[in-house]
Copies of this chain bind each other. A is one copy, B any other.
Amino acid sequence: MTPDWIAVDWGTSALRAFAMRGTAQIAEAASAEGMASLAPDGFEPALLRLVGPWLGPGTTPVIACGMVGARQGWAEAPYRPVPCPPVAAGETLRLRARDPRLAVEIVPGLCQHTPADVMRGEETQIAGFLAEEPGFAGTLILPGTHSKHVRVAGGLVTGFTTWMTGELFALLATQSVLRLTLAPAGTDPAAFRHGVRQGLDGGGLAGLFALRAEALLAGLDPVAARARLSGLLIGAELAAQPPAQDCVVIGAEALARAYLDALAQAGIAARAIGAGALVCRGLALARNGGMT
């Protein structure tokens, strides 16, 4: 059974593809051939390696979002400025592929001029979310390497802020002096909450070196140190710009749970939604102009 179309989520470090019949996923595949590992002429071969088995003799539409549309991607899809709907009919970038079986479109990211900010990929998840809840007004949080806080009202993205929380965590945990103090994995909910409280109270940056000092002076447990670092950074993120009371976290389970926990400490009763299905839903909307 060949798909009607193929949905592609193509980020910095990963490529995920979904064989679609209407809005139903009939197969999925993934590789590590993200944008960062590819030159512009490497995108089409990487895509064919992954989705080749799904292609029939005719032309299959491929709708892709994410860093594939960045300046260093397959082709640059210029940002759409907010306020605007997260995706819009007829605004994808159409590419001429060498293989005639492919008709590729790239969903553009969003930009905000003041303060300057950009996103690529999250807009598609947001579109998928708004398809389910078109009347939502509040803050969507999409945690990750670069955590996004996105303000939404009346079907529009009205503004957003990017936090380097995930990237800071990885750098501090593996490259800084704190690497001597942190376990390579593991969680500790009480230590996480301790860190969140400190971050919410403005002590996030001062709390960093204290992890090293407490390890030296008082044998701080390495797993607790890791969990507290995560809490410090997430707490600092939430303290600097508190989300609206109507707040939804869109993301993978463990990380979404951590944000819900931190939001509860900040007095915000948020809920979480998995990101997976939202991407395909949003890509379907981008393809069909909201008419699926």
Contacts and interface: CB of A to CB of B under 8 A. Distances in A.
B213 A116 contact: yes
B118 A240 contact: no
A117 B171 contact: no
A213 B118 contact: yes
Interface stretch (A51-59, A85-93, A214-222, A277-285): A214-222
Interface string A183-216: 0000000000000000000111111111011101
A106 B115 CA distance: 51
Interface range on chain A (Cβ under 8 Å from partner): 35 or more
Nearest to A208: B164
Contacts of A206: 115, 161-163, 240-241
A95 interface: no
A161 B213 CA distance: 11
A113 B112 CA distance: 45
A116 B241 contact: no
Interface in A137-153: 146
Contacts of A207: 115
A213 B164 contact: no
A141 B242 CA distance: 31
A71 interface: yes
17 contacts: A71-B216, A111-B213, A115-B207, A116-B213, A116-B216, A116-B217, A118-B212, A118-B213, A118-B217, A146-B177, A146-B209, A162-B206, A162-B213, A163-B209, A164-B172, A204-B240, A205-B237
A167 B162 contact: no
Contact of A240 (B79, B116, B205): B205
Interface string A109-127: 0011101111000000000
A206 B162 CA distance: 7
A236 interface: yes
